[in-house]
């Protein structure tokens, strides 16, 4: 077990370094003086010279990379060209909203997928199964931003139940904040439960065909206990990997959802940074997102042995 964890942690290190390299060189690919790129039009000659000195631009590229990495490791991602705020603080601020929406949505979607997938697998080829499979296929084909627009059209404009544009932070009014978050979360729940249900159903079907399930049924274990104790835990392991991928993906920014519902989240921050050519923010967002993505996948791999002890044996 400890060997497994240590090995998995060690494997992360080279990828982390590669990711840092990619983020660093991606921004350096932009034509022009990097200091000018990072300061935008706002910089005067003195601050430009200071930044050049700071970034080590007079030294070799590997040294420049190490200088940048050193700052990043200490949590200093530079300052936004547009607002002058420290990038790390802005990212953390925006990330909290994105994380809240994503975590609530993925938890709910997982519960729905577990119930629907297990039932569909249990009653395979029944009308219920067909309905579940059909709904999942339909949901998979719907782009999240379009579903969001349609929900907004129905619940916001036609019915007038929920607010349409804007956002009120929790610190100002918790009830209003919740009202603004209902539709984005609902959109994500619907979209993500489609993939998860399919995954859950197919792995539950695999498990239901295994001998230990036949054995449990043969010795008279009630069907409910067969499903709960034997099928669910074993079918959940592959789904967990998918949940990890989805979480990492969504935490990195649900830019389209945040655009539809005008939420100030991490994804919108990155898109706005691209449109405004605010490169320090873009670079920070990229690095942060990739690290979160890797961290989530690492966490899932580390949780995996609890569901499937066989993996540590390899």
Partner 1 sequence: MINIRLNAALGGALTGLLLLVVALGFVWMPYDPIAIDLAHPLDPPSSAHWFGTDEFGRDVLSRAMLGARISVAIALAVVVAAVGAGAFIGALAGLLRGWVDRVVMGLSDAILAFPGMLLALALIAVMGASRGSMVLALAIAYLPSVVRVVRGAVLSIREREFVEASLVAGDSRLYTLFSHILPNTLPPLVVLATSLFGWVVLSESALSFLGVGVPPPAPTWGNMLSAARPYMENGSWLSVVPGLCIAVTLLGINLLGDALRDRLDPRREA
Residues that bind partner 1 (CB under 8 A): 14-15, 18-19, 21-22, 26-27, 29-30, 133, 137-138, 140-143, 145-146, 149-150, 152-153, 157, 202, 248-249, 252-253, 255-256, 259-260, 270-271, 273-275, 277, 282, 286, 289-290, 293-294
In whole angstroms, the minimum distance from the beta carbon of 112 to partner 1 comes to 20
Phi-psi region at 8: left, alpha or beta (left = phi > 0; alpha = psi -120 to 50): alpha
By beta-carbon proximity to partner 1, the closer residue of 113 and 270 is 270
By beta-carbon proximity to partner 1, the closer residue of 185 and 260 is 260
Nearest Cα residue to 267 out of 25, 281, 23: 281
Task: Name the CA radius of gyration of the chain, rounded.
Answer: 24
By beta-carbon proximity to partner 1, the closer residue of 217 and 249 is 249
In whole angstroms, the minimum distance from the beta carbon of 70 to partner 1 comes to 20
According to DSSP H, which parts of 142-278 are helical? 144-151, 174-208, 211-218, 223-225, 232-251, 255-260, 266-275
What one-character DSSP code corresponds to residue 162?
Answer: S
By beta-carbon proximity to partner 1, the closer residue of 30 and 178 is 30
The token duo for 5 is 């964890």
Quote the Cα angle for 132-226-245, to 5°.
Answer: 50
In whole angstroms, the minimum distance from the beta carbon of 268 to partner 1 comes to 9
Residues 188 and 261 sit within 8 Å (Cβ to Cβ): no
- Residues facing 79 on adjacent strands: 86
Quote the Cα angle for 9-15-16, to 5°.
Answer: 80
By beta-carbon proximity to partner 1, the closer residue of 36 and 221 is 36
By beta-carbon proximity to partner 1, the closer residue of 16 and 221 is 16
In whole angstroms, the minimum distance from the beta carbon of 211 to partner 1 comes to 15
In whole angstroms, the minimum distance from the beta carbon of 18 to partner 1 comes to 4
The token duo for 97 is 């909203």
The token duo for 122 is 């249990």
SS3 79: strand
By beta-carbon proximity to partner 1, the closer residue of 216 and 257 is 257
The token duo for 232 is 């669910």
By beta-carbon proximity to partner 1, the closer residue of 14 and 220 is 14
In whole angstroms, the minimum distance from the beta carbon of 141 to partner 1 comes to 4
In whole angstroms, the minimum distance from the beta carbon of 239 to partner 1 comes to 16
In whole angstroms, the minimum distance from the beta carbon of 21 to partner 1 comes to 7
Nearest Cα residue to 168 out of 154, 184, 181: 181
Residues 284 and 292 sit within 8 Å (Cβ to Cβ): no
């Amino acid at each position: 077990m400890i060997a497994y964890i240590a090995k998995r942690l060690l494997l992360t290190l080279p990828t982390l370094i590669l990711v840092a390299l990619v983020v660093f060189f991606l921004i350096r690919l932009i034509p022009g003086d990097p200091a000018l790129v990072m300061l935008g039009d706002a910089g005067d000659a003195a601050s430009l010279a200071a930044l050049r000195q700071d970034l080590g631009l007079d030294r070799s590229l590997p040294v420049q990379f190490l200088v940048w990495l050193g700052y990043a490791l200490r949590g200093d991602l530079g300052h936004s060209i547009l607002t002058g705020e420290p990038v790390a603080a802005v990212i953390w601020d925006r990330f909290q909203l994105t994380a809240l929406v994503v975590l609530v949505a993925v938890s709910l979607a997982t519960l729905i997928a577990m119930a629907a997938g297990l039932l569909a697998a249990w009653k395979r080829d029944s009308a219920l199964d067909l309905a579940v499979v059909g709904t999942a296929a339909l949901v998979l084909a719907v782009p999240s931003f379009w579903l969001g627009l349609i929900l907004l059209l129905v619940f916001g404009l036609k019915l007038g139940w929920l607010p349409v544009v804007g956002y009120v932070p929790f610190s100002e009014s918790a009830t209003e904040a919740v009202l603004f978050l209902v539709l984005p979360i609902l959109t994500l729940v619907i979209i993500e439960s489609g993939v998860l249900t399919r995954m859950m159903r197919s792995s539950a079907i695999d498990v239901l065909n295994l001998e230990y399930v036949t054995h449990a049924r043969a010795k008279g274990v009630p069907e409910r206990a067969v499903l709960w104790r034997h099928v669910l835990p074993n079918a959940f392991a592959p789904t967990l990997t998918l949940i990890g991928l989805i979480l990492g993906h969504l935490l990195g920014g649900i830019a389209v959802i945040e655009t539809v519902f005008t939420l100030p989240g991490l994804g919108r921050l990155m898109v706005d940074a691209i449109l405004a050519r605010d490169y320090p923010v873009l670079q920070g967002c990229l690095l942060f997102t990739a690290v979160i993505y890797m961290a989530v996948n690492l966490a899932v791999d580390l949780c995996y042995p609890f569901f499937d002890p066989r993996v540590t044996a390899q």
